[in-house]
């Protein structure tokens, strides 16, 4: 899986995608992540990539030409399955979407900044628009990092324990059951007996019951 990201702020992505599970996936050769500084495709002598919005109003708009030039150049060497624009007015990211995207070979993500990108880039190139939630961030970088992380961690072979991605909250439409580790008693709070029983079927049943209970309480919408 290759993920290419067009951004004005690659440093905002290097941190989140340079550690832990994502780093391990990259080191194992299971994922490749590349950042492209959009300013390198500016044809302006001051390297500007934004301009005033037609019709007036607050905020600058990212110009079409540098984005088109950058995307065109990347498309010459990579056949992208999806060209994704991160935007608060996109489809809200969920686990099903991450699962689906983790099966693709090549993804291109575009991070907007300022007021947004020229609509014609969305019309001409973008195949998918994704939001990470109903709030507005300063730009698409943190959203791209969240999306890339959610995809990379479930690529087969990335997690040591293959089953642990499958038992995550949301993977079966339920929130995760509580988990415990040693010591068995901490500040007078004991681990539920069943988890110490060694009885796999009983443990599975307990976890399922806890998941259903928690989902009913916190996210009844998921049970519908
Ligand atoms: N850019 C700004 N806010 C965003 C959000 N919530 N999701 C995706 N991209 C964004």
Mean pLDDT over the full length of the chain? 95
Instruction: Indicate the burial class of 26 (C-beta count within 10 angstroms; 0-12, 13-18, 19 or more).
Output: middle
Judge if the beta carbon of residue 92 lies within 6 A of ligand 1: no
Atom 7 in ligand 1: which residue has the minimum CA distance?
A: 131
For the entire predicted model, the pTM comes to 0.95
Determine the distance separating the centroid of ligand 1 and the alpha carbon of 115, expressed in angstroms: 11
| Of 187, 194, 186, nearest in space to 210 by CA | 194
- The ranges of the chain annotated as CATH 3.40.1280.10 are 2-152
CA distance 162 to 146: 21
Helix (H, G, I), strand (E, B) or coil at 138: coil
* Residue 161, pLDDT score: 67
Atom 2 in ligand 1: which residue has the minimum CA distance?
A: 137
* Residue 169, pLDDT score: 81
Q: Does domain 169-223 have CATH number 1.10.1270.20?
A: yes
* Residue 82, pLDDT score: 98
Judge if the beta carbon of residue 131 lies within 6 A of ligand 1: yes
* Residue 163, pLDDT score: 58
Tell me the pLDDT tens digit for each residue of 116-164: 999 999 999 999 999 999 999 999 999 999 999 999 999 989 987 655 6
* Residue 223, pLDDT score: 93
Atom 5 in ligand 1: which residue has the minimum CA distance?
A: 88
Q: Does domain 2-152 have CATH number 3.40.50.920?
A: no
Helices 20-27, 141-152: inter-axial angle, 10-degree rounding: 60
Residue from 5, 87, 117 to probe ligand 1 pocket by mutation (most atoms less than 8 Å from CB)? 87
Tell me the pLDDT tens digit for each residue of 13-26: 999 999 999 999 99
132 in Cβ contact with 30 (< 8 Å): no
Determine the distance separating the centroid of ligand 1 and the alpha carbon of 88, expressed in angstroms: 4
Instruction: Indicate the burial class of 94 (C-beta count within 10 angstroms; 0-12, 13-18, 19 or more).
Output: exposed
Judge if the beta carbon of residue 140 lies within 6 A of ligand 1: yes
Q: Which residues of the chain have pLDDT under 50?
A: none
Ligand 1 atom with least separation from CA of 133 = 6
5 in Cβ contact with 148 (< 8 Å): yes
Contacts 24+ apart (CB under 8 A), 40-46: 40/70, 41/66, 41/67, 41/69, 41/70, 41/73, 42/66, 43/69
């Amino acid at each position: 899986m290759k993920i290419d990201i067009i951004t004005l702020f690659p440093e905002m992505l290097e941190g989140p995608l340079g550690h832990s599970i994502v780093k391990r996936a990259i080191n194992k050769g299971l994922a490749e992540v590349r950042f492209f500084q959009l300013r390198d495709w500016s044809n302006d002598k001051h390297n500007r990539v934004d301009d005033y919005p037609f019709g007036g109003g607050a905020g600058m708009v990212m110009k079409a030409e540098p984005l088109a030039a950058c995307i065109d150049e990347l498309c010459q060497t990579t056949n992208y399955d999806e060209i994704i624009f991160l935007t608060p007015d996109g489809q809200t990211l969920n686990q099903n979407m991450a699962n689906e995207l983790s099966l693709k070979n090549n993804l291109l993500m575009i991070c907007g900044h300022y007021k947004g990108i020229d609509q014609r880039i969305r019309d001409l190139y973008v195949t998918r628009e994704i939001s990470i939630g109903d709030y507005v961030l300063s730009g698409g970088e943190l959203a791209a990092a969240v999306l890339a992380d959610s995809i990379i961690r479930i690529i087969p072979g990335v997690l040591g324990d293959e089953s642990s991605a499958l038992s995550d909250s949301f993977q079966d439409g339920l929130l995760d059951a509580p988990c415990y580790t040693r010591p068995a008693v901490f500040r007078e709070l004991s681990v539920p007996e069943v988890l110490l029983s060694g009885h796999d079927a009983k443990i599975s049943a307990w976890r399922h019951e806890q998941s259903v209970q928690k989902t009913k309480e916190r996210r009844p919408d998921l049970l519908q």
